Amino acid sequence: MTLLVQITDTHILPPGEVLYGEVDTALHLRQTVSRINRFRPLPDLVMVTGDLVEQGDEDGYRHFMELLSPLGMPVYVVPGNHDNPALMSRVFADTTYFPATASPFQYAIEDFPVRILALNSRSEGSELPTFNAQRLQWLQDQLERSDKPTLIALHHPPMKTGIELIDMGGTAWFQDLKSLLNKHEQVKLVICGHCHTDLCGRIGQVPVYMAQATSHQLVGSRALTVAPAALIEPGTPVLHQFIDGEFLSGSNAWPPNLEQERIDVKSGRSWEDLKQSMRGSRS
Ligand SMILES: [Fe+2]
């Protein structure tokens, strides 16, 4: 079994700054890190699917590292449209975060029962996605090297979302990726962020899970005629559990007062007794 926690779009600023004058992204990440450390069992790793910082700056990345430092498991990241992959590789050089030192700034994690391939969908000079021939060739080489069950992480959703603001990037950029995945059945799941809202879809036969943002959510019409609004609350971390050869994915809320809220504590009955009553005549 592998337990992977996904968070995304943390949009960290240098210490003391808040996003849009009102979103305390550092507070939201600190609360999220604390929540993940309470999960039982503890996850095997955390993957942050891009937009780690707001401005692609070194102070932001150092603040991001400081905020993640209490996590009790390895952390990995992929670049989003707000990120600077070359700077990430330098600033994160002494961490597990980003073991990619040169273009195309993609890497493989081989330490778990599931293989993880971290991709780069960032464009230079645009927020819209790119997956160029060099990145595609790298992925093809990796997929031909091993049949091990594989999870792919990238920032932009490689699917039509029905949210016109996100679909401005068109569908052409992921057609070659889709064709490649169709030839490699070991890819079990694609995870992404970018949209600051959660959505499940597919690229070919592979499920795609797009997670809520840790910084703030975007809400509003799916049509481009109306601008979205920001909902200033952190999204819930997503737990991707690899079990019996497949992934099960869902948000994983874990409030600070969980122990007091347990049904055995609140009901005054032992957990063994409660389980027995659930089994009923099938015990
Ligand atoms: Fe974002």
How many domains does the structure of the chain reveal?
2
**pTM metric for this prediction:** 0.95
| 52 Cα: distance to centroid of ligand 1 (angstroms) | 8
| 67 Cα: distance to centroid of ligand 1 (angstroms) | 18
- Same domain assignment for residues 274 and 238: no
Domain that holds residue 236: 2-252
- Same domain assignment for residues 219 and 262: no
- Same domain assignment for residues 212 and 265: no
Rg (CA), the chain: 20
- Same domain assignment for residues 245 and 265: no
- Same domain assignment for residues 283 and 174: no
- Same domain assignment for residues 240 and 279: no
Task: Give the Cα separation of 240 and 7 in Å (integer).
Answer: 11
| 162 Cα: distance to centroid of ligand 1 (angstroms) | 18
| 115 Cα: distance to centroid of ligand 1 (angstroms) | 25
- Same domain assignment for residues 151 and 71: yes
| 194 Cα: distance to centroid of ligand 1 (angstroms) | 5
* pLDDT in single tens digits along all 283 residues of the chain: 899 999 999 999 999 999 999 999 999 999 999 999 999 999 999 999 999 999 999 999 999 999 999 999 999 999 999 999 999 999 999 999 999 999 999 999 999 999 999 999 999 999 999 999 999 999 999 999 999 999 999 999 999 998 888 898 899 999 999 999 999 999 999 999 999 999 999 999 999 999 999 999 998 777 777 888 889 999 999 999 999 999 999 998 888 888 889 999 999 999 999 999 999 998 7
- Same domain assignment for residues 199 and 263: no
- Same domain assignment for residues 142 and 261: no
- Same domain assignment for residues 242 and 260: no
| 51 Cα: distance to centroid of ligand 1 (angstroms) | 5
- Same domain assignment for residues 202 and 277: no
